[in-house]
Structure 1
Amino acid sequence: MLVFWKQKLVFLAVPKTGTSAIEEALGPIADMRITNPPMFKHMPLVRFNTYIKPFILENFDVEIETVAVVRNPIDWLGSWYRYRSRPDLAGNPNSTAGMSFDTFVEGYLKNKKPAHSNVGSQAIFVSRHNGPIGVTHLFQYEQLDKLIEFLEARLNIGISLARTNQSPKGSVVLSSEMEERLRRKRTEEFAVWEVARR
């Protein structure tokens, strides 16, 4: 999470959406940069609204806007699947080594998710308690140029992103049957991604 006080802007870091590269590029000019532990680095909107925003409003009477990135849900899950296939997770319940992408997504669709598929929800991350999207400025990962354009204008700087924290290479092919199930059972994930289209 990055806070830009003068610009009244907070960048909320949705996992697996290029946030490490953005934080590396903008961290040096941020007034506050939270990178650890992960539960603070990847603070969802509800937690921000519960703990950080009230403190700001009470002490400084400043209205803060939020910005976040969401990714195509299939690609987002694919990134998690590849990330958890890395050798250092071998033998860990989170490991996806030797597992098909279909099996990983099937686990994600369960109410009680197995550890390897328990990766959260982009829709929940950017939404308020009662469901509607609450992030002020929402961008698609697939259109990062538009995010960069927005941030450059808002922060009055030039931005160049390096490639950091990439998931291992690997095949991420989802069967048509599993894709249909994913789209049917997680409509909210695809809806949020579509809303972010500009």
Structure 2
Amino acid sequence: MLVFWNKKLVFLSVPKTGTTAIEAALAPFADIVVSNPPELKHAPLYRYNRFFRPMFERACNTTDLETMAVVREPISWLSSWYRYRQRDFMKGRPNSTHGISFDAFVQDYMRGDQPPHANVGRQSKFLEPRPNGLRVDHLFRYENQPRLLAFLEDRLGHPVQIERHNISPRADLDLSPETEARFRRKFQSEFELYESVS
């Protein structure tokens, strides 16, 4: 999470949406950089609403901070998690995807009792509007980098160059038509969220 105090902007880091690269590019200009622990670096909207927003409002007497985040096409998002958990350092860990096909990974993700390697959360839950009306003010597609960069450059007032970071290994990402169709039905809200963003 990054806070640009004078620009009245908070960047919420949705995992697997290029946040490491974005944070590397923008951290020098941020007033607050939350890079660890992961639970705070990747604080979802509900956690921001519960802990960070009240702090800003009560301690800093401000209510005009806007939030932004990036979302990724749902199958691509899962493939990024799958490939990340294929890295060598993950071997032997319960959440490793070594020895598991992408199709099996997606099937495990759809289970009610997800095994550790497929327990990666949901973008829609990360960004779910809160009962008090708080919602993410600015959403961008991971796949539409020009729109994201144009917004950041306009809002922050200087050029932004994002270089690739945290690149996962290539992997076989074959997905059977049956698994994909079931995933699209079961997680329709993920696709609706993505389609709602230009």
Normalising by structure 2, we get a TM-score of 0.96
Residues 6-17 of structure 1: matches in 2 within 5 Å?
A: 6-17=6-17
Distance in 1 (CA, whole Å) between partners of 2:162 and 2:195 is 24
* Structure 1 residue 5 corresponds to structure 2 residue 21: no
- Quote how far apart the aligned CAs of 1:124 are: 0.6
Which residue of 1 is the match for residue 39 of structure 2?
39
Tell me the equivalent position of 1:19: 19
Pairwise CA distance, 1:133: 8.4
How do 1:18-97 residues align onto structure 2 when only pairs under 5 Å count? Answer: 18-59=18-59, 60-97=61-98
1:114 alignment counterpart: 115
For 2:136 and 2:113, how far apart are their aligned partners in 1?
A: 27
Q: Which residue of 2 aligns with 1:169?
A: 170
Whether the 8 Å CA contact 1:127–1:133 is kept in 2: the answer is no
For 1:39 and 1:28, the matched residues in 2 are separated by: 22
Deviation string, structure 1 residues 70-92 (Cα, Å, up to 9, x no partner): 00000000010011011211111
Instruction: Tell me: CA distance 1:133–1:58, structure 2 relative to 1, closer, same or farther (3 Å).
Output: closer
Give the partner amino acid of 2:104: T
2-structure distance, mates of 1:4, 1:63: 12
Considering only aligned residues, what root-mean-square deviation do their CA atoms show, in Å? 1.3
Cα pair 1:126 1:133 within 8 Å, conserved: no
Structure 1 gaps of 5+ residues are: none
1:150 and 2:151 aligned: yes
SS of structure 2 residue aligned to 1:142: coil
Report % sequence identity. 49
Query: Does the 8 Å contact 1:109/1:185 carry over to 2?
Result: yes
The question of whether the paired residues in 2 share the 8 Å contact of 1:65 and 1:136 is answered with yes
1:100-128 Cα shifts (integer Å, max 9, x gaps): 11110011111221000000110011112
Query: Map of 1:119-130 to 2, 5 A cutoff?
Result: 119-129=120-130
The unaligned stretches of length 5 or more in structure 2 are none
Q: Is the 8 A contact 1:133 1:192 kept in 2?
A: no
* Alpha-carbon distance between aligned partners in 2 of 1:113 and 1:149, rounded to the nearest angstrom: 38
Indicate conservation of the 8 Å contact 1:101/1:174, yes or no: yes
Q: Deviations over 1:49-102 (max 9, x none)?
A: 111101111232332110000000000000100110112111111111111111
1:9 Cα offset (Å): 0.3
Give the CA deviation at 1:191: 0.8
Which range moves more in the overlay, 185-194 or 58-67?
58-67
In structure 2, give the amino acid aligned to 1:148: L
AA of the residue aligned to 1:194: E
Show the counterpart of 1:140: 141
Runs of 4 or more, structure 1, over 6 Å off, are none
Distance in structure 2 (CA, Å) of the matches to 1:53 and 1:144: 27
